[in-house]
Amino acid sequence: MPCCQDSQAECNNRIDYSNIIIGGERILPFVFELDLDLSVLNPPAGENQRFCYRVTGVGENISTYVSLSHWVLSLCPSITLEQIANVSVTIGDEQQTVIIGENVALFLPPDTDPTTGCPGLKFDFAINKVLDDENSTGLFCFELTTPYPVGSVNVCVKGGQVSSAALAICGPVCTDEDLCRVTASQLVNVCVPVTIRPYAFTGPARTICCGVPTVGDMPCGGVVNGTCTFYVSQQICVEVPINFGSSTTPGETYVDCGSASAGECVCPPVNND
């Protein structure tokens, strides 16, 4: 669902991590949605900008699915903690106690959340993976005292022993004046082994009496406590959806300091020789 085409970069207001397979076998089955009714993306002058995100578990109670332990919104790194106001979190129907610096924390580059490796605003609240569980929904809201443009920001998720930063949602991004942008790319061949382990399980047994019972003095025939075995075979066809994606992990930032001077920035001439 595209969002924010009015003087802002196009981005998605809804992303679905339930389609992302992590580590070849685990899924964090959560849908993130920017609530446009509760959010105020273009506030009037003097008012705060507001972002509200709904997080919903859409999985089942099986080991493939993992519950969410926390998530990080990688907003513009020039946003400081002093600019963030009125943070609120609701899990299910219960309003949560927000403690800034503990269950809600801001990591500014080069600092990152230790488990996802992402900078940004971290919400350390667990959400159940099972659809329709009372704790399988969350509403996360915060305000910015300085409005920012809206564009794509990474949503980094963590649960169990797996994490991912594969998807991005509409959120506060830096202005062109805040960043010098450069794009780099790398061609990567991706291969994933898929192992299929068929299984079969039986339903409840049903006993049907054939004829009338025989009552007499003859001893029972057969084997004491014996068993009878028969075999049922079935050909099956297995469909395996595979999603290819990528996540990036930046390394340390290298800085080569030049000379300082008063006044505005003046770029040195480019040597094209």
pLDDT tens for 84-111 read 999 999 999 999 999 999 999 999 999 9
217 domain-assigned: no
In a domain, 190, yes or no: no
- Domain presence at residue 165: yes
How many residues does this entry show for the chain?
A: 273
Question: CATH no. for residue 156?
Answer: 2.60.40
Mean pLDDT calculated for residue range 220-235: 86
Comparison of pLDDT for 200 and 68, the residue scoring more: 68
Asked whether residue 36 is assigned to any structural domain, the reply reads yes
Question: If pLDDT is split at 50, 70 and 90, which confidence band does 183 have?
Answer: confident
3-state SS, residue 82? helix
Q: What is the pLDDT of residue 273?
A: 61
Average pLDDT, the chain: 88
Range of the domain at 150: 2-172
99 contacts 153 by C-beta, under 8 angstroms: no
Q: Which band of pLDDT confidence, cut at 50, 70 and 90, is reported for residue 181?
A: low
Query: Residue 98 falls within a domain, yes or no?
Result: yes
Please provide the DSSP assignment of 202-233 as one string.
---------SPPP-SSSPP-S-TT--------
Long-range contacts of 41-45 (CB under 8 A, 24+ apart): 41/4, 41/8, 41/150, 41/170, 42/6, 42/147, 43/147
Is 214 a member of any domain?
Answer: no
Residue 211: the pLDDT is 86
Q: Please give the tally of structural domains in the chain.
A: 1
Whole-number pLDDT of residue 228:
87
- HSE-up of 178 (CA within 13 Å, CB side)? 11
pLDDT one-digit tens code per residue, 29-72: 999 999 999 999 999 999 999 999 999 999 999 999 999 999 99
Helix (H, G, I), strand (E, B) or coil at 17: helix
**Peptide bond connecting 114 to the previous residue in cis, omega within 30 degrees of 0:** no
Q: Taking 90 as the threshold, does the pLDDT of residue 73 lie above it?
A: yes
Count the Cβ atoms, other than its own, within 10 Å of residue 51. Answer: 25
The verdict on pTM exceeding 0.75 is no
Q: What is the DSSP letter of 13?
A: S
**Residue 187: inside a domain, yes or no?**
no
Tally Cβ neighbours within 10 Å of residue 125: 20
Locate 139 and state its tokens: 């509403």
pLDDT, tens digit (0-9, with 9 covering 90-100), for 6-20 = 435 689 999 999 999
Q: Is residue 257 assigned to a domain?
A: no
